[in-house]
Amino acid sequence: MTGVFQSVAVADEQPFSPRSVPTRADRAFRVVSTTAAMISLLIVVLTLVFLVDKSRPAYRQSGVIGFFTKSTWVPGSGKFGVLGLAENTMLISLVALCVGVPMSIGMAVFINEYAPNRVRQVITSAIDLLAALPSLLFGIWGKVALEGSITKMAAWLNGHLSVLPFLRLVSGHAAKGVLTGSTFQAGIVVGIMIIPLVTSVSRDVMAQVPREQCEGALALGGTRWGMVRDVILPFGRSGIVGGVLLGMGRALGETIAIYLIVSEVVAVNTHVLTTGSGSIASWIVTNFDGTSPLGRAGLIAAGLTLFLITFFVNVVAQFVVKRTGRFS
Amino acid sequence: MTTTDGAPPTQPVPVIVDEPRIIDDGPRRRPRFTREGLTDMVSAFLTGAAGAGIVRTALGWHGYLGTGIWWYIIFLVAYYLLQRDGASTEVGLDRVVTVVIWSAGVLVVAVLAWMLIFLVVRGAPRLSPGFFTHDMSKTGPLDPGGGVRAAIVGSAEQVGLATVVVVPLAILTAVYLHELKGRWSTLVRFAVNALAGVPSIVAGLIVYTVWVVGGHGPSGAAGSAALAILMLPFVTRSAEEVLRTVPDPLREASLALGSPQWRVVVQVVLPTALAGLTTSAILGVALGIGETAPLILTTSYSNATVTNPFHGPQSSLAYFVYTYVLEPSKTQNQRGYSALLVLVILVLVLFVLARYIGGRSRRKLRRSR
């Protein structure tokens, strides 16, 4: 027996591996593409370093804690506080998620399970196109074309659901001027803007459900909605959550559409239907022109805050999506 | 002997079954839309109309939006009840969800159509050949005339410059990530993803801080740098997706023939993926051309046509739109709408081009398999 083993061991040579001996050209090729890859890494690190470095004067003036707990913006005396801006940014994203997420999941289910072939092509093209259109168009459409409907919709919501504190108006009844330029209006437009992203992530995840399971559900007599509800959505849950977070990251960073739509305020405004909102990003665009070096530092500090928030949201999102599968 | 369901014989007994009746047609799909279904839908629709109408008159509403929302809600409830009585709760729910999902699809297409029609109605009247051949240097803000020449030149140069930098870099990075699978892949992929999440305004802010305020002043090239930061992760990620579609046997075959890895990549993988890579590059350009926020911080604005992107403020289509579209006077905001229409048409052309190339290559790949 031992003899047999020995002879096998002798016969077993290492398989020839062409990759183990790179030529000089190969090595050069590796160096080039590695360098390219490192540049992305460098950009991220440099962004962080520069933002931290250039925003220090603002923190020094207003104190790090004060910067995050106050809602003021007086560049002249260096009083900065992003609480209101951050809160309004978050609220716009939340409204956007309320609009965008049901639509996106609906679209993903519609495209993957419901739509006949022809309709599917129309819908996927429409959604891809929605992703390609510039945010300027969303912004100006949301401001001009949507203004009337938004006023009515806000009045309707306020009339029916004013039990909820955030749907109350600050003062009195619904007058026309009060209901535009609000978190609600911006949120709806941003919600439409995130539909393509959330839809495509959810679709990818839902397409990974083992087909036998879906067919099994149908074969057991389940309806199509039963299959979606009990097989597809539970299977894709964490992927969908990741997609929603990615959409939130996008919504948080949206600038120009929000800039065009809302009337900017620094203060905290939890009444989503009333005028006065804003986001960190649009605040930077509004205020950067002709500001003092100190004011600039304040804006950079606000940008850093935004960067950290979106970075965090995106990292969590990618982690969650990656756990479900391919979307690395 | 016949067997009955549910009581199988304990021992294998030879079973004589009746001559099987031959079913001459295959499994039949039940029609989704029966006459009863249609009747139910129509009557639910009418119920909704009646219900909403009654509430409307009773409460003295004026708007149509609220009535419409109530109409839809009552319609869904009535449809559900009718279907439930016809079949079962589960079936009723299924039908209602089908209706809701279809209406969501219609809504998305309708919103898109609304946006495009809105833009065409506002922007088309002022479009003329002169709009493309004039800039704003000799036209006062309130005068008619003027055009987007400066903006088009600026956009072309800024996006072009960014593309020239980004596309090779992105493809090399994608090669590193998917072909070399180097030691740093995980970290680089993380960085690329993180970069993809960077808000456009932050990309603008970083160039503004480092370059514009750092003593070089605003210029088209600064805008290109900001655009490049935004386009890089986008193109890298889609390029990596494209490389993933290249079948592995192609790589293995050429490695087995003894070619070094760089030749495999340059002569086999990249040519196979060429169309897909072109698509991702075009979509990257479409992304860059529509970006506004970073340009506001980096390029500033100029009325005259500036051909040198490395020196002094330069206009761009997005900035042009941003400058004019919210102005109160009609001559000014119409100019903005027209420029936005030009921008959207450009994006649409790029989009269709990308789809065409991408679709053709996908067909080719499928045939080669």
Average pLDDT over residues B176-186: 83
In one-letter notation, the amino acid at residue A244 is V
Smallest Cβ–Cβ distance between A126 and the set B98, B109, B173 belongs to B109
**Greater pLDDT, B340 or B137:** B340
- State residue B273 phi and psi, 5-degree precision: -90, 5
The better pLDDT of the pair A20, A37 is held by: A37
Residues A105 and A202: their CA atoms lie apart, in Å, by: 7
At residue B31, the pLDDT reads: 54
Buried b / exposed e across A289-307, counting CB within 10 Å, b at 16+?
A: eeeeebbbbbbbbbbbbbb
Sequence ranges of the domains in chain B: 35-125, 138-368
Q: Which residue of A has its CA nearest to B172?
A: A33
Tell me the CA distances in angstroms from A100 to A5, A193, A280, B162, B259, one per residue in order. 65, 8, 21, 31, 50
Q: Is the pLDDT of residue B353 over 80?
A: yes
DSSP state of A263: P
Asked whether the beta carbons of A104 and A194 are under 8 A apart, the reply is yes
Helix (H) or strand (E) holding A139: helix A135-140
Facing residues of A328 across strands? none
Considering only CB atoms, which chain A residues are within 8 Å of B175? 33
Mutate: best of A26, A31, A40, partner B, most B CBs <10 A = A40
Whether B275 contacts A42, CB under 8 Å: no
CB A282 within 8 A of CB A255: yes
Sign of the Cα pseudo-torsion (A166, A171, A176, A182, in order):
negative
Residues of A in contact with B191 (CB under 8 A): 40-41, 43-44
Angle between helices A280-287 and A83-109 (to 10 degrees): 130
Secondary structure in 3-state letters for B279-291: HHHHHHHHHHHHC
Give the mean pLDDT of chain B. 83
Whole-Å CA distances, B64 to A141, A180, B69, B249, B359:
21, 19, 9, 61, 43
User: Higher confidence at residue A115 or residue A171?
Assistant: A115
Among A106, A155, A246, beta carbon nearest to B101 = A106
d(CA A50, CA A53): 5
pLDDT at B1 over 70: no
Q: Calculate how close chain A gets to B46, using CA atoms only, in Å.
A: 23
On the question of pLDDT at B3 being above 50, the answer is no
- Check residue B17 and give its pLDDT: 54
Instruction: Inform me whether the pLDDT recorded for B56 exceeds 50.
Output: yes
**List of long-range contacts for B261-264, beta carbons under 8 Å, 24+ apart:** B261/A19, B261/A22, B261/A26, B261/A29, B261/B179, B261/B180, B262/A25, B262/A26, B262/A28, B262/A29, B264/B179
Contact yes or no for A257/A135 (Cβ under 8 A):
yes
- Select the highest-mean-pLDDT range: A17-31, A290-304, B149-163: B149-163
CA atoms B90, B93, B98, B101: torsion sign: negative
What is the rounded CA–CA span in Å between residue A209 and residue A231? 8
- Determine the distance from the C-alpha atom of residue B134 to the mean position of all C-alpha atoms in its chain, rounded to a whole number: 32
Task: List pLDDT tens digits, range A259-312.
Answer: 999 888 888 887 888 888 888 999 998 888 777 888 888 888 999 999 889 988
For residue B243, the Cα-to-chain-centroid distance in whole angstroms is: 21
Give the C-alpha separation, B307 to B117, whole Å. Answer: 33
pLDDT greater at residue B234 or residue A37: B234
Q: Which of B90, B105, B344 sits opposite A110 (nearest CB)?
A: B105
**Partner residue opposite B191 with nearest CB, options A40, A152, A156:** A40
**C-alpha distance from B14 to closest chain A C-alpha (Å):** 30
Q: How far out from the chain centre does Cα A200 lie?
A: 13
Average pLDDT over residues B133-149: 80
Of A33, A104, A105, A264, which to mutate for an interface test with B (greatest number of B Cβ within 10 Å)? A33
| Other beta carbons less than 10 A from residue A208's beta carbon | 16
- Please give the pLDDT value at position A173: 53
Q: Is A26 on the interface with B (CB under 8 A)?
A: yes
Instruction: Write down the residue that tokens 């439930």 correspond to.
Output: B84
Distance CA B7, CA B16 (A): 16
End-to-end alpha carbon distance in chain B: 53
Give the model confidence (pLDDT) of B160-179 as tens digits: 999 999 999 999 999 988 88
Query: Residue B143: what are its φ and ψ, rounded to 5°?
Result: -75, 150
Helical ranges in B87-148 per DSSP H:
89-123, 129-133
CA B202, CA A43: separation in Å to the nearest integer? Answer: 12
B353 touches chain A (CB under 8 A): no
SS3 B60: coil
Largest alpha-carbon pair distance within chain B?
A: 102
CA distance A280 to B147: 33
Q: Which domains does chain A have, with CATH numbers?
A: 85-287+310-324 (1.10.3720.10)
Residue B195: which of A40, A145, A313 has the nearest Cβ? A40
Residue of B nearest to A260 (CA): B326
Q: What is the maximum span of chain A, computed from C-alpha positions, in angstroms?
A: 98
Predicted model pTM: 0.84
How large is the ipTM?
A: 0.84
The class (CATH top level) of B138-368 is: mainly alpha
How far A249 CA sits from the closest chain B CA (Å)? 7
* pLDDT tops 90 at residue A104: yes
Q: Which of A18, A228, A256 sits opposite B258 (nearest CB)?
A: A18
Judged by a CB distance cut-off of 8 A, whether residue B148 touches chain A is no
Mutate to test the interface with A, among B180, B209, B323, B335 (most CBs of A within 10 A): B209
Residue A61 CA, chain-centre distance (Å), reads 32
Higher pLDDT: A172 or A275? It is A275
In angstroms, rounded to a whole number, what is the distance separating the alpha carbons of residues B64 and B48? 14
pLDDT for position B104: 92
